[in-house]
Structure 1
C-alpha cells in the first residue's frame, strides 16, 4: 500500500521488497543510547508505531515542541491568505513567530507543514523528518525549528525560505530566468548538503532528491528539504540497503528502480538529474516534448561529452551568457553522475570539489541577462537600479533614431517597410552589472 501511495508510475516498477535487517547488531532504544550517539531511524524498534513525547523531546533537545493552539496563532488559524502550497505531506502555511510566543525563540517567519491524514504520507514520514532534521544541522539543510505532536495532529515548523523551491524558480513560465552563476551556486550548495548526509557516522540516504525539494532563501542559498523518504545507509559490513522503491519518476537511479538496492550512489544519480535540469532548463520528464526528448537523461546524456553539441542542449533562456569552460566541466560531471554503473559515479564530496572552482571562472560573455537580487531595508532593489539604467539607455537610443529620421528626406515613390520595434517584454541586464553593485561574493557559498 505504501508503494502504491507514493508512486504514480508503479506499473513500471517491481513489487515492494521488504527491508533487510542486518543479522548482527541489536536495535537500541532511545533511552539506552550514548549521549554522543545520533538517534537513527533504525534505533526505533517499531518504526511505524507512535513514539512517546518524552522519547522525542529527550533525544531532540534542539527542537521546540509547539502546541496546536500556538501554531494556530502563528498562522492566523491556518488562513487561506497564509497558504503557501501543498505536497505529499500536506498543506504548508506561512506564519510569524513573535518574541512573546516563548522564551529563547527569536522573532521570525516560519513555514508550517500540516500532515494530511488522508494524504500519501503519514506518521512514519513525519517521524523521519523530526528525527533527522532534529539532529542534523548544516547550512545547506533546511532548519527544522520544532514540531507539534498532539492527539492525531502532526505538524512541522521550518525556517521560511523566501524564494520557494528551485522547481518554481527554474521552470517558471514568466519572469527572468536564473543566471548561470546562480545555478552553479545552487548546485554547489545542494552537493554540500548531500555530502554531509553521506559522510555522517551513520550515513543517511536522502532518496528523493529533486528540484521541488530544494528551497532557496532571499539570496538564492539552496537548502535540501523534505526528509520524509530519507533512510539509514548500509552498515559497515553491508554494501547496500534493500527497501521498497520510492521516489519520483525521472530522478530515481536505474539500479534502485530495478532491484530496490539503495546506496549513497543512488543520491548521486538524482543529483546528476538536477544538475542536468540546471544546464538545460528542462524537466526530468516532460511528456509535452517529442517522444525521444520526453526523458531528459536518455535524450541529453549522450550529448554531454561532445563540446560541439553541448551548446545545443544548454538552456536557450541563458542566451549564451555562461562560461563555456564551466558548462563543459559541469556537463562532464553530470555525465559521470548519470552513469548506469553506480561504482562509476563520483562521491558527493568529489562532486563538490569539481563544481566549486567553476564559480570563479570569468569567461562569461557580457550581454543581456536577468537576475533578481535581494532587497535591503530602506534601499532601492539592485534590480530596479540596473533596470532603470537600461530603460534610460533604451530611451536615449530611441530618441537618437527619431532625430536621425527627421533629418533624412524621404524619396518620392519609394516604399518604406515598417520597422519592427525592439521587444521590451522583459527587463535585461548582465551579470557584470551585478558584480559592480554587489561584488562576486554574491555567488560564492560561504559553507
Structure 2
C-alpha cells in the first residue's frame, strides 16, 4: 500500500481566494519548521477563532512576545524538573480514576474526562475540590473550540467579508453562536483567575501554576506579566484535556483490538510491580514495551493529523515560491504512515519501536505528533507522563475486551475515528471494559 507522501511531498491548492500548501513529507516539515522556525512560527488566521474569543490562546496567537512568554511559563511549569510538584498529584488522580472505573466501568468515558479536567484544574489553580459545573463548562469550551476549527463549516472563514455585515442580516447566525461561545469561554477562564487573584490578595497560601505565578507578579518579582499568565491559563484546558482524551480513547480502541499486545503489556507491568502495587512514574524507564505501545498509538492515529502554519513573509523552497500568508498544512498522518520511515504503516506493531540487535528502533512518532519548531507542544513532558500512568494502571487492573453480542461472542472491533480537528476513536462502547 502506498501513501500520499511517496508521490506528492508538496501539494498546492488555490481555494476560496487563499493559497494552500499541503506538506506530506517529514524532511520538508523539518526544513520549514525547524530550519526556518521563526518564518513559519505563525498560525493561519481563523475568523471564528477571534469571534469565539480564542485569539489570546497561545495555540492561535501570532508568534509575538506575549505568546513566547506564555509558552515559556507553561514549559517552566510542566517540564521534567517541575515533576516533583505535579507528579504526586498526577499519581493521586490516576489512582482515583482507576477506583472510579472499578465502581462503575460502564461510565469509563465520563470518568476519564473528569480525571483529565480535575487534574489540570487542580494543577493550574490549586483547587482542592473541582465542582462538576466547572468540568461541564470546560467540556463545553472544548466542544466549541472543535466546532470553530472545523474546516468548511463557517462562511466567515471562506468569505471573511461577511464579518462586516450586520448581525440581523440573513445568514449571520454564526455570529450569535460565536457570541455565545465567547461568553462561555470568558466565564470559564475569567472566573477562576479572578478567584485566584482575590485569594492571593487575601493572603491565602494556595499552590498552583496560576496562584504561584500571580503571587510573584503582584509582588513585582516575576519576569512575567499578568496578561501572559492569562494566556497560559486560558490555553491549558483545551490543550491538556481534549488532545490527551483523544490519545487515551485511541489507546483503548487499539489495545482492545490487539489481545496479544495487551497480554505482553500486562506481563511487563507485573514483572516490574510484582503485582503488589500500582505502576508509578518512576517505573517509566523500566517498561520499554509500554513505551513502544504508546509510541505506536501516536503513530497509528495522530490525534492532530494536520498542523497548520502560515509564513510571515514570502518564502522560496526547492525552487517553489510560497507566498506570505499561505495556509501551509503539515500532514502529520502522511508522515506517520510513510513507508520510507515505517514498514507496514497501516498495521499496529508496537515492536517496531523496540531496538533490535545492531539496529535502531523506528523514529519516535512523537517527534511529529507534538509539533515542530517554535510551536512544539509545551506540555509534552506532562502528556507523556499522564499517558504512561493511565496505560499502566489501567492494564494492571483491567482486561480490555470488546462488548459481547447476543449469542455471547465478542463483537468485531471497528477501528474508526472522528473527522474533527482533534481526531478521536468513535467506536468505543460503554460495555468494553472487563475487570481482570
Could you say whether these structures have the same fold, taking a TM-score greater than 0.5 normalized by the shorter chain as the test?
Answer: no
Greater relative contact order structure (CA < 8 Å, 6+ sep): 2
TM-score, normalisation: structure 2: 0.22
In terms of fraction of residues, the more helix-rich structure is 2
Q: Which has the larger radius of gyration?
A: 1
